[in-house]
Copies of this chain bind each other. A is one copy, B any other.
Amino acid sequence: MDALDLALEEGGFGAYVAFGNSQDPDVLYLTRFSVTDPVLYIRRRGERGVIVVPQMECERAAKEADAVVISREEAGFFEIAKEERDSWRVLARVIGRQVPVGPVLVPASFPYALGSELAREKQVGVDRDAVHRMREVKTAREIGSIRHVQHACDRAMERALLVIRKAKARKGLLFQGAVPLTSSLVRSAIHQVLVRNGCIPGETIVSCGEETAMPHRRGDGQLTEDEPIVIDIFPRDQETGYFTDMTRTVCRGEASPEIADMFRAVRDAQDLASRLIRPGVPGADVYQAAVDFFREAGYESGSRGFVHSLGHGVGLEVHELPGLGPSGGELKENSVVTNEPGLYYPGTGGVRLENTGVVGRGGFSSLTRFGRDLVL
């Protein structure tokens, strides 16, 4: 009996119902079926999940999905569609046929149009976290998938740093031969490595100089000497759907004393957090330890300095449970989380280091094996 069965049992729900395509990580997690158009997922209490798919997907779903497959036709979709004009109403009635008994549990992200139709006939409860809590603790297979995509990510980072190291500097600007070395050239080099390794690149950050003070600025234009370059890569494995997340900050040439100090503080904060992260420790405590550490080093947290949380879970989403911010709960064994302290000062720049790793009894076991050197 998993957490979802338990939530159904405890709340007296007849079934859990989700609706989405495999972009919806809950749907992908529960069905393991990769699909562009949304499917209906229904899990009656104590039974195996059922997915309702278009006829054209039936054969593939039977091979690929971890669920009982029925076609829209078999679910009565077309029969009901003759009587109802509204397509959400049709879906609500299809669900009604599949779940004759009891109230229905839906994910928080369930489409309001469908939920409010369902609520006209049935009691509808929102699953606040059963599925997210299931996803929060990874199986050995899932950890293997994240390790695999992290390896590709390491190779991509290696390529990026090689490109920057090989660049020539002229009047403070970096060049690749005669061509200006831009964020977008480095990003393209990263993405080529990722794609060759079966990954789908995300919106990779290669920001430089003043831009780095904005943590999520993607980066634009020519890279410069002696300024921080933040490279944040979060690809998804095309085969498994799992993400990883990694950041390094480098300088081609000399780092300013301010940036060098920030870098040391961030690196030490990361090491401190690696020791503190373990099962049973609240994410909030690890975050607070980083805040305290930064304060003693002379850096504030909040709207300047350390402006984001210390980390987040990684899996079928780049950001998932657990959180390592002010409200982060107890960490669980075999969660996969980032450890990513950062400092940001407009006018000076930003520094971030980010590893992804497993919450283990011996502490944070990094899946990221890449070095942390500021100066290239």
Contacts and interface: CB of A to CB of B under 8 A. Distances in A.
A42 to B, nearest CB: 16
Contact of A57 (B126, B188, B216): B216
B196 A192 contact: yes
A76 to B, nearest CB: 16
Interface in A175-210: 184, 188, 191-192, 194-196, 198, 200-201, 203
A203 B34 contact: yes
A108 interface: yes
A60 B195 contact: no
Interface stretch (A44-52, A112-120, A329-337): A112-120
Contacts of A35: 216
Count identical subunits in the complex: 2
A256 interface: no
Contacts of A184: 198
B108 A111 contact: yes
A185 to B, nearest CB: 11
A100 B188 CA distance: 47
A346 B218 CA distance: 47
Interface residues of A, number: 54
Central interface residue in A55, A112, A115, by most chain B CB within 10 Å = A112
Contacts of A106: 112
Contact of A109 (B108, B112, B194): B112
B216 A60 contact: yes
A227 B198 CA distance: 26
A179 B37 CA distance: 35
A56 B115 contact: no
Given A107-B112, A192-B192, A195-B195, 14 more contacts: A36-B216, A56-B216, A59-B214, A60-B216, A88-B126, A111-B112, A113-B126, A115-B115, A116-B119, A116-B126, A188-B198, A191-B195, A192-B196, A195-B201
A328 to B, nearest CB: 13
A215 B115 CA distance: 31
Contacts of A113: 108-110, 126, 128
A124 B112 CA distance: 10
A196 B200 contact: no
A212 B194 CA distance: 28
23 contacts: A23-B23, A36-B319, A54-B308, A55-B302, A55-B307, A56-B216, A60-B217, A88-B108, A107-B112, A109-B112, A110-B113, A112-B126, A113-B128, A115-B116, A116-B116, A116-B119, A116-B126, A188-B195, A188-B196, A188-B198, A195-B195, A195-B201, A203-B238
Nearest to A304: B55
A188 B184 CA distance: 21
Contacts of A307: 55-56
Nearest to A59: B214
A34 B218 contact: yes
- In the A-B complex, the 9 residue pairs with the smallest Cβ-Cβ separation, listed nearest first, are A108-B113, A112-B115, A110-B112, A191-B195, A56-B307, A113-B126, A195-B195, A60-B214, A109-B111
Contacts of A112: 106-112, 114-116, 124, 126
A41 B86 CA distance: 26
